[in-house]
Structure 1
Amino acid sequence: MSTLRNPVSSQWNDRSNSHQQTNFRWWFAVALWVLLLISYIDRTNISIAGPEMVKDGVVTTHALALANSLFLFTYGLSNIFGGYLSDRFGPRKIALFALIWWSLMTLFTGFVWSSLALIFSRILLGLGEGMHWPLNSKWVKEWFPSHERARANMFWEFGLTMGPIITGPFVTWLILSTGTWKSPFIVMALVGILAMAPIIWIVAKDRPEESRFVSSQELAYIQAGRKDESASTQVSVGEVLSKTDFWLLLINWSGMATVFYGILFWLPSYLIKVRHLSLHMTGFWYMLPYILMTVCIILTAFASDRLMKRSIFAGIGTIIAGVGLFLGTHADNLALAMILISISSAMNGVVLPTIWSSLQRMFPSHNVGTGAGLLNGLENIIAAIGTYILGISFSVGFTYLIIFALIGGLSGLILAKRGY
């Protein structure tokens, strides 16, 4: 008589019988990179397409500024509840829902007919995309031992740098070749639904224990690297918000993020209106900050994991971002200005892996998703203010960004003295 085979025990037996050491956690990190890559192309294509939408009379400049800021606001809110949902239901289900949602909203953006429609589409896009960051942070906490997390964060954060690198030439090419600003939104929506959703469903398990691609040796290695955290007790939201360390981390991250989002959303408009460049040249210069940021992420992640120091990198990087932006916006020579502005934006690559490694140290596995949602959610709501000011006035906006970056850098240095 045949017997039923328990799929869970079968999966474990298959893993136990394998004597080959796997490193599937790093392939999983690559999948998270692709997910963030799609996400960032979907949100940054508006920076190239936006001026064309204004030129066609579909939206106004003020509406575009408001739409970008409201995107960050709802993005911040959805970080908070997305992190909570990932702790409760697991990151895989929430990630799949978020991916399909934001892909549909990207498609909707390609068919907006007025300023109000654009604002509505960006609000809805933010509600989907904001869930993404706390999900990735929870995955890194579960899938990687503590001494590998800066490098693991580096992998998926490549999506943040490669997204804009691809966005500049790719979106420019789509617009120029098709003759319409609608094409980038339509193409990327289809990529998210048809290509990325199946990958998440197959690869992105909540924990390495659930993956048939992880060998028993690799699982033991991951678990050994988490032993020092296994006894951690759950931390309430109120306890987190009462801690000085969390607020220092938030101010540091917000100072850098305000500079980054300002450049992300408004650099093409700045180059066209202030530096008087063509759309083609704007797409070229738009890539430079993110090429440098990619280099910074790699160097910082390895150095930070080796030294096991985080906030000293984040603090100094944010100060350099403020100084670089000040010098770049006051330089007369275009090439020099773009190099300095690019260095300013590239400092986000120094801050990113170290900020998230500090966060993953602050929070136990039980609610790291909630913690990541709080940090990134509040940071995006704060950054929305600077993004809106910059969209209205470059002179006032850049001053605001520079001052905030210097304050954020000082907060990071104070946090470094506290041992992070």
Structure 2
Amino acid sequence: MNFRWWFAVCLWVLLLISYIDRTNISIAGPEMVKDGVVTESALALANSLFLFMYGLSNLFGGYLGDRFGPRKVALFALIWWSLMTLFTGFVWSSLALVFSRVLLGLGEGMHWPLNSKWVKEWFPSHERARANMFWEFGLTMGPIITGPFVTWLILSTGTWKTPFIVMAVIGIIIMAPILWSIAKDRPEESRFVSAEELAYIQKGRKDESASSVGVGDVLRKADFWLLLINWSGMATVFYGILFWLPSYLMKVRHLSLHMTGFWYMLPYILMTIAIILTAVASDRLMKRSIFAGIGTIIAGVGLFLGTHTDNLVLAMLLISVSAAMNGVVLPTIWSSLQRMFPSQNVGIGAGLLNGLENIIAAVGTYILGLSFNVGFSYLIIFALIGGISGLILAKRGY
């Protein structure tokens, strides 16, 4: 029995809920502005501060996961961000929205590095790109569901509040009990893992380093910084599209809310395909950063071409390909990280990588929220720099 893959599905659902909770604002936000509840500048600030706090939370979330185990920390984070999602559904002003997004980022940021720690513990090294692929499906499926689901909830109930309330109930009532019963810290602790499967997992990780590293060791590692620049270049493009594509389509391309929800799905459908193909190829070739480097460069080029064409269909195809490159970068970036650090400290490395990356990406997200012309130029340049960094890391053996 290969229970580890069912465990990966559990991690997928957890990230799926997380991404719907963070992306529903991209559909509901313009409606909140239209109702006069918040201003456009406050919405831009709220999205940027979400990423900033999300990044900070990653830093101590990885540390807490290493110290107390990912299961307890993940359960606390899930309940926290579900409550903050509920709070967002009842905001009454721009200040309240900013406050709710900051608190949402605090909860969701603790979660991401825990998944990386779980993959390190539950999967042998030659399966980790595919394992990362499984839980990262939540990142792609979340926005795919968000577009039509949140649009339907708003249009059918007549209020932007509904999506936040529904997702909060799903997180607390449904997902929290599932997480507690299935997500053990190590496969040795799970009653669902057979002796044969446990031996297989342990054999696949027995040759890895058992030495311990601290925050200073991580920050002094040149390879870590190359990985961070590569990941930040891609993430800046991804988060810009994630949070601002609906506004861009409605303001610049003059689409309706219904059509915006439709086009919002396309980047993430392509990203899902990219994750599958990349994870399989990367595990087979045991090469990671060459995929990440080339994918980030393609993201920058695709975004440039997509924002400089008048044809809507062609523009959306190019922008969607740009966002889809996140599916090429994701499984390979995290497989490289899991190779860099030992099991007992992979949470620290993951927390630092994702935390710093989100803080860096918050800058681009804020600029894009203020000006599409300036913001897109910033995203494109950063993506090209990130891609070059990935290619350098590939030459160093990752």
Normalising by structure 2, report the TM-score: 1.00
List per-residue Cα deviations over 1:298-333 (Å, max 9, x = no partner): 000000000000000000000000000000000110
Distance in 2 of aligned mates of 1:204 and 1:366: 17
Distance in 2 of aligned mates of 1:180 and 1:315: 42
List per-residue Cα deviations over 1:159-217 (Å, max 9, x = no partner): 00000000000000000000000000000000000010000000000000000000000
1:53 to 29, 32, 36: 32
Amino acid at match of 1:293: M
Amino acid at match of 2:174: A
1:372 aligns with 2:332: no
Q: 1:55-94 residue pairs with structure 2 within 5 A?
A: 55-94=34-73
1:149 to 128, 131, 141: 128
2:233 to 243, 255, 260: 255
Distance in 2 of aligned mates of 1:404 and 1:194: 41
Residue number in structure 2 paired with 1:304: 282
List per-residue Cα deviations over 1:97-148 (Å, max 9, x = no partner): 0000000000000000000000000000000000111000000000000000
Q: 1:14-163 residue pairs with structure 2 within 5 A?
A: 22-163=1-142
Identity of aligned residues (%): 89
Residue number in structure 1 paired with 2:314: 336
Distance in 1 of aligned mates of 2:175 and 2:322: 31
SS at match of 1:419: coil
Unaligned runs of 5+ in 2: none
Residue number in structure 2 paired with 1:7: none
List per-residue Cα deviations over 1:64-110 (Å, max 9, x = no partner): 00000000000000001000000000000000000000000000000
2:176 to 173, 194, 197: 197
Distance in 1 of aligned mates of 2:35 and 2:369: 19
Residue 54 of structure 1 and its aligned partner are, at CA, apart by 0.2
Amino acid at match of 1:313: F
Distance in 1 of aligned mates of 2:146 and 2:194: 37
Distance in 1 of aligned mates of 2:6 and 2:309: 43
SS at match of 1:330: coil
Distance in 2 of aligned mates of 1:252 and 1:228: 28
SS at match of 2:192: coil
- Computed over aligned residues only, the root mean square deviation of the Cα atoms, in angstroms, reads 0.4
For these two proteins, the number of residue pairs brought into alignment is: 398
Residue number in structure 2 paired with 1:228: 207
Distance in 1 of aligned mates of 2:170 and 2:194: 31
1:416 aligns with 2:394: yes
Distance in 2 of aligned mates of 1:326 and 1:157: 26
1:210 aligns with 2:220: no
1:317 to 283, 295, 307: 295
Residue number in structure 2 paired with 1:5: none
Residue 232 of structure 1 and its aligned partner are, at CA, apart by 2.3
Distance in 2 of aligned mates of 1:344 and 1:99: 30
Residue 240 of structure 1 and its aligned partner are, at CA, apart by 1.2
2:360 to 369, 382, 398: 382
Residue number in structure 2 paired with 1:14: none
Residue 277 of structure 1 and its aligned partner are, at CA, apart by 0.1
Distance in 1 of aligned mates of 2:341 and 2:15: 23
Unaligned runs of 5+ in 1: 1-21
Distance in 1 of aligned mates of 2:92 and 2:296: 39
Distance in 2 of aligned mates of 1:194 and 1:239: 40
Distance in 2 of aligned mates of 1:164 and 1:344: 15
Q: Which has the larger radius of gyration?
A: 1
Amino acid at match of 1:331: T
1:172 aligns with 2:143: no
Normalising by structure 1, report the TM-score: 0.95
Distance in 2 of aligned mates of 1:31 and 1:170: 21
Residue number in structure 2 paired with 1:11: none
Q: 1:226-305 residue pairs with structure 2 within 5 A?
A: 226-229=205-208, 231-305=209-283
SS at match of 2:29: helix
Distance in 1 of aligned mates of 2:210 and 2:69: 19
1:346 aligns with 2:343: no
SS at match of 1:228: coil
